């Protein structure tokens, strides 16, 4: 029951937030929503299937650049189209990359995903004519469900219609991932995580399951990336840099990877914490390093690991 | 046509010859025990028979299909299941979830990403039935890692049976279990096998009480060769054979 109760409370709080919370904090929640979607995917790989990817930022960047290419390149402004395109592009890249990566596990899987992330970073950085190099590409204000909201200023648009759009998408992504984790496929992934040899012995196609999980994770990463690029208005190469992948893993550890809602909590707490610490000190990375160490040592199951454990849940 | 047929298997670890021309057939209705001292090649033979290890030469046919080195997943789908010498479970999964995995795999549901697992009544009915048959009905909601050792072993074997295989190959099904529990476990799984349509059981076993008590046929291995392939009575009557295979076994592996 804990999951549902927490989930319901958080959902209500987020729905009423635009009326009560300061605008500044609402704008902070937007990237948190986007990261939440991307992290749901990352956690299907790590929390459910037991594969830790250090290259998930690759798919976030792909989503962001898809949004940029569609809005500023092709003048396609419908966010629905952008989101679907980001999902498709991420899946298309995840197929070859995934086929290679799922042949490995543990640190080898992690390093290979990291390598692909950096490969894409180099591509974005060097192919100036296509990607804009280190300046990146502009992401124009999208139309939501066909509406332009031209009367609204940038911030009003973001904390108003776009806030609810992103929240709605996060809700859909959460329900979808809930369904996947609770599906026969989800159970088989957990079996593989626990004991891959045993899973194979009872007839589960281990590599194929891992590959499917990889592609699904990439799709969530791509959608998260497209959404992430709208408030900043920019897709830049650092989105694919390895430290960004590291941040995603950090968020997951912070929230708790063995809890279904861990990714969402991790995303929100990370963004708010980053904002607070950055406003206090220029050495925010130092503070974050200490926080990460403390989480790993004292709360290895993350913030949601502090909740009472339920029997046998994902 | 035999259910399982191995012909002239040879396998090496480096230059060490683990299997040196082993042939073996298993027919429907048989309970076959593979015995032999440590290092005789028993586990290697099991690994080859279950497609985990590709032999240097020789073929394995299962139900008429060549399955040499086919891999565990394909053999499991064809109807040949195995359980391991060391207890192998999914530590964090409950008994219910553990038994659901082979059922989903067999029914071709393992790749359903969006199906509601809880709504699959036929899966859960089958899981409950298998659990009851193996005396695990009381523990359905318990994570595997919290089970006592004997129950873990039963769960391991039960998950192989849940594939409803034609042939099941067990590497020391009673290892690591107290002597008192051994016969209970054997009785449970022989009976379950009969009820669940398992046509033949092959086991590797050290405990001669179990071997002579349940086998229709005994295959004795020694230094990678088949020393004897005969009924329990014939094996018991051959003193030299007993001396070579069983005697050595008790030397190297005193019964607890």
Domain coordinates of chain A in residue numbers? 24-241
Compare B251 and B200 and report the one with higher pLDDT.
Answer: B200
Q: Which three-class secondary structure state does DSSP give residue B10?
A: strand
Domains of chain B: 4-252 (3.40.50.300)
pLDDT for A312 equals: 40
- Determine whether the interchain pair B111/A205 forms a contact, defined as Cβ–Cβ distance below 8 Å: yes
| Torsion angles phi and psi, residue B59, rounded to 5 | -125, 155
Residue A16 forms contact with B (CB below 8 Å): no
pLDDT band at B247 (very low <50, low <70, confident <90, very high): low
Mean pLDDT (whole number) for B162-171 = 91
| Torsion angles phi and psi, residue B234, rounded to 5 | -65, -40
Tokens of A85: 């395109």
pLDDT for B174 equals: 80
pLDDT band at B249 (very low <50, low <70, confident <90, very high): low
Contacts A201 to B, Cβ<8 Å:
72, 76, 81-84, 88, 160
pLDDT for A314 equals: 41
> Where are the alpha helices (H) located in chain B, listed in sequence order?
42-49, 72-78, 95-106, 121-133, 149-161, 179-195, 208-214, 232-237, 239-241, 248-252
pLDDT for A150 equals: 86
pLDDT for A1 equals: 57
> Across chain B, what does the average pLDDT equal?
87
Ranges under pLDDT 70 in chain A:
1-3, 309-314
- Determine whether the interchain pair B113/A197 forms a contact, defined as Cβ–Cβ distance below 8 Å: no
pLDDT for B7 equals: 92
Residue A146 forms contact with B (CB below 8 Å): no
The ipTM assigned to this model is 0.86
| Beta-sheet pairing, B200-204 with B16-26 | unpaired
Compare B172 and A50 and report the one with higher pLDDT.
Answer: A50
Contacts B120 to A, Cβ<8 Å:
184
How many Å lie between the alpha carbon of B244 and the closest alpha carbon of chain A? 33
Contacts of A289 (CB under 8 A, 6+ apart): none
Distance CA B141, CA B94 (A): 5
Least confident of A181-190, A273-282, B24-33, B235-244: B235-244
Distance CA A227, CA A144 (A): 12
Q: Which position has the token pair 């929240």?
A: A167
> Do residues A105 and A30 lie in contact, with contact meaning Cβ atoms separated by under 8 Å?
no
> Do residues A36 and A267 lie in contact, with contact meaning Cβ atoms separated by under 8 Å?
yes
- Determine whether the interchain pair A209/B77 forms a contact, defined as Cβ–Cβ distance below 8 Å: no
């Amino acid at each position: 029951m804990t999951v549902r109760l927490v989930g319901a409370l958080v959902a209500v709080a987020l729905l009423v937030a635009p009326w009560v919370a300061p605008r500044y904090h609402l704008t902070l929640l937007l990237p948190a929503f986007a990261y939440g979607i991307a992290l749901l995917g990352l956690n299907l790989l790590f929390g459910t299937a037991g594969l830790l990817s250090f290259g998930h930022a690759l798919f976030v960047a792909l989503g962001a650049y898809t949004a940029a290419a569609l809005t500023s390149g092709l003048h396609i402004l419908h966010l629905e189209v952008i989101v679907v395109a980001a999902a498709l592009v991420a899946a298309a890249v995840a197929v070859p990359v995934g086929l290679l990566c799922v042949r490995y596990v543990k640190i080898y899987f992690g390093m290979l995903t990291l390598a692909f992330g950096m490969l894409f970073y180099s591509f974005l950085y060097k192919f100036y004519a296509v990607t804009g190099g280190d300046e990146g590409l502009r992401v124009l204000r999208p139309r939501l469900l066909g509406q332009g909201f031209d009367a609204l200023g940038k911030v009003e648009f973001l904390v108003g219609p776009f806030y609810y759009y992103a929240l709605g998408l996060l809700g859909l992504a959460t329900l979808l991932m809930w369904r996947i984790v609770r599906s026969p496929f989800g159970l088989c992934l957990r079996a593989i995580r626990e004991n891959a040899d045993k899973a194979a012995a009872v007839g589960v196609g281990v590599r194929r399951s891992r590959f499917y999980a990889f592609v699904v994770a990439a799709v969530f990463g791509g959608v998260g990336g497209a959404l992430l690029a709208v408030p900043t208005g920019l897709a830049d190469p650092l989105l694919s840099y390895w430290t960004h992948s590291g941040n995603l893993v950090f968020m997951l550890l912070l929230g708790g990877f063995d809890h279904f809602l861990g990714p969402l909590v991790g995303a929100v707490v990370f963004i708010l914490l980053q904002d607070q610490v950055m406003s206090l000190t220029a050495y925010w990375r130092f503070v974050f390093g200490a926080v990460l160490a403390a989480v790993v040592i004292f709360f290895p199951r993350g913030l949601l690991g502090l909740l009472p454990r339920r029997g046998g849940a994902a | 046509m035999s259910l399982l047929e191995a012909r002239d298997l040879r396998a090496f670890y480096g230059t060490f010859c683990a299997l040196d021309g082993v042939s073996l057939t298993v027919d429907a209705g048989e309970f076959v025990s593979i015995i032999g001292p440590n290092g005789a090649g028993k586990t290697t033979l099991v690994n080859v028979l279950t497609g985990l290890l590709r032999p240097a030469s020789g073929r394995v046919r299962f139900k008429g299909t060549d399955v040499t080195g086919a891999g565990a997943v394909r053999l499991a789908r064809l109807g040949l299941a195995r359980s391991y010498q060391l207890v192998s479970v999914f530590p964090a999964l409950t008994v219910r979830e553990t038994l659901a995995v082979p059922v989903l795999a067999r029914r071709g549901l393992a790749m359903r990403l969006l199906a509601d697992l809880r709504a699959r009544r036929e899966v859960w009915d089958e899981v409950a039935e298998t659990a009851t048959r193996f005396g695990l009905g009381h523990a359905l909601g318990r994570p595997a890692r919290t089970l006592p050792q004997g129950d873990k072993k039963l769960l391991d074997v039960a998950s192989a049976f849940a594939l409803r295989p034609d042939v099941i190959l067990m590497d020391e099904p009673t290892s690591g279990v107290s002597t008192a529990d051994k016969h209970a476990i054997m009785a449970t799984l022989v009976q379950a096998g009969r009820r669940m349509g398992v046509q033949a059981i092959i086991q590797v076993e050290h405990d001669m009480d179990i071997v002579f008590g349940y086998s229709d046929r005994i295959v004795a291995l020694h230094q990678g060769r088949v020393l004897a392939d005969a009924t329990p009575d014939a094996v018991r009557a051959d003193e030299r054979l007993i001396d070579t295979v069983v005697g050595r076994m008790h030397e190297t592996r005193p019964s607890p």
